[in-house]
Amino acid sequence: MSVLLPPAQVAIVEVAPRDGFQSIREPLPTADKIRCIELLIDAGVTRMEIGAFVSPKAIPQMADTGELVAAFADRAAMRFSALVPNLRGAELALAQGVRELVFVVSVSESHNQANVRRSVAESLEELARIVALLEHDADACLRLDLGTSFDCPYEGTIAWHQVDDVLSRARALCGNLHLEVALCDTTGRATPYQVAEHFRQLVGRHQAPRLSWAFHGHDTYGMGVANALFAIHHGATAVDTACAGLGGCPFAPGATGNTATEDLVYALNGGQVYSGIDIARLLVAADAIAALPGGQSASHLRQVPRDRIR
């Protein structure tokens, strides 16, 4: 049995402003979002999915993403990204000055249909158009979120070779772009061993100089932190989490919030893994986010008396 040595650092991508705020039925006032984002930045967050350029009919909670990007345009140290499901979203994001686009396509046909009303093949055609747009933009980069990489709410368990199929087709379109591939546990049903197996198989098959790996997980079955750690130990250099454990895809019935940022930071701190995040300040942000009306937070650390958190 091999001994797990902690990596020196892990990049945390804070997704509460996107995955979290979209899960609150009544769209939040923009000012409340801005206040929470400021607290997250104060805590040391440097990468953040700030919102989504999607149809306001599909996800009305994201309709103010452009305003949020504008409100934080002067934060040069921040790496903001935004989710886009189609060319239209990519054009809007780039026009607002977003440098990192998160293109989402699900591995399972039925979740892709429910989420973006397209077949996987149609989504990949959209990706090809987005890549053509990015090729003219030297400092823009692409995150590929592969939804339902482990489990689909409609089709059940997803095998690694199904992910490999969609990833291979997507990579063939991406040319020489900087690409971060995220295996997404949309429903939170993955187990750490399944996460390890998918990363081992896929990282082994897809090696390239401008390719890096990420994990996006939900904590529905309490596996969130363990899944993230197994991903980190099998090739992921970035992990998506949401402060206060908010979050959930409206098209993934039964799934609960994202893995809480504070829970993962606590685990990383135990191994002296650098994330740049101050846990005490993060808990201030978590309290503010958990207090938002209509949100369902799910963080372990917030329940622990503060004087017992190191």
Tell whether residue 115 is a contact of ligand COA (CB under 6 A).
yes
Q: Which CA distances in Å does 31 have to 15, 19, 110?
A: 18, 18, 36
Whether 249 is catalytic: yes
Residue 115 vs 275, nearer CB to ligand COA: 115
CB closer to ligand COA, 57 vs 306: 57
Nearer residue to ligand COA within complex by CB, 185 or 283? 185
| 79: contact with ligand COA by CB under 6 A | no
According to DSSP, the β-strands at 141-147 and 179-185 are parallel
Minimal CB distance to ligand COA: which residue? Answer: 89
In the complex, minimum distance from the CB of residue 122 to Zn ion, in angstroms, rounded to a whole number: 21
C-alpha separations of 266 from 122, 165, 230, 269, 291 in Å: 41, 35, 15, 5, 21
Task: Give yes or no for a contact between 69 and 92, defined as CB atoms under 8 angstroms apart.
Answer: no
Minimum separation from the CB atom of position 132 to Zn ion (A):
27
Nearer to ligand COA, 43 or 100 (CB): 100
* Chosen residue from 17, 89, 188, 217 binding ligand COA by CB under 6 A: 89
**Positions 45 through 64 that interact with Zn ion (CB under 5 A):** none
| Closer Cβ to ligand COA, 89 or 217, answer by number | 89
The angle that helices 261-270 and 224-232 make with each other, rounded to 10 degrees, is 50
Binding pattern for the stretch 197-236 against ligand COA, x by CB under 6 A and - elsewhere: ----------------------------------------
Give the orientation angle of helix 109-116 with respect to helix 120-134, to 10 degrees. Answer: 60
Residues 6 or more apart whose CB falls under 8 angstroms from that of 202 comprise: 160, 163, 164, 167, 181, 183, 213
Q: Which stretch binds Zn ion (CB under 5 A): 17-25, 52-60, 63-71, 219-227?
A: 17-25
Total residues contacting ligand COA (rule CB under 6 A)?
19
108 binds ligand COA (CB under 6 A): no
Cβ 247 to Zn ion shortest distance, Å? 6
Q: Is 110 in the site for ligand COA (CB under 6 A)?
A: no
Residue 129: name its binding partner from Zn ion, ligand COA, none (Cβ under 5 to 8 Å by kind).
Answer: none
| Cβ 250 vs Cβ 19: under 8 Å | no
DSSP assignment string, 7-20:
PSB-EEEE-IIIII
CA separation for the pair 4, 120 (Å, rounded) = 37
Rounded distance between C-alpha atoms, residue 268 and residue 232, angstroms: 10
Q: Are 104 and 118 in contact (CB under 8 A)?
A: no
Answer yes or no whether residue 129 interacts with ligand COA by CB under 6 A: no
Distance (Å, rounded) from C-alpha 246 to C-alpha 250? 13
According to CB under 5 A, which one of 11, 13, 17, 19 is a site residue for Zn ion? 19
Q: Is 54 in the site for ligand COA (CB under 6 A)?
A: yes
Alpha-helical segments (H) within 135-180: 160-171
286 binds ligand COA (CB under 6 A): no
Summarize as ranges the residues that interact with Zn ion (CB under 5 A).
19
Summarize as ranges the residues that interact with ligand COA (CB under 6 A).
52-55, 57-59, 83, 85-86, 88-89, 92, 104, 115-117, 147, 249
Q: Catalytic amino acids?
A: 249
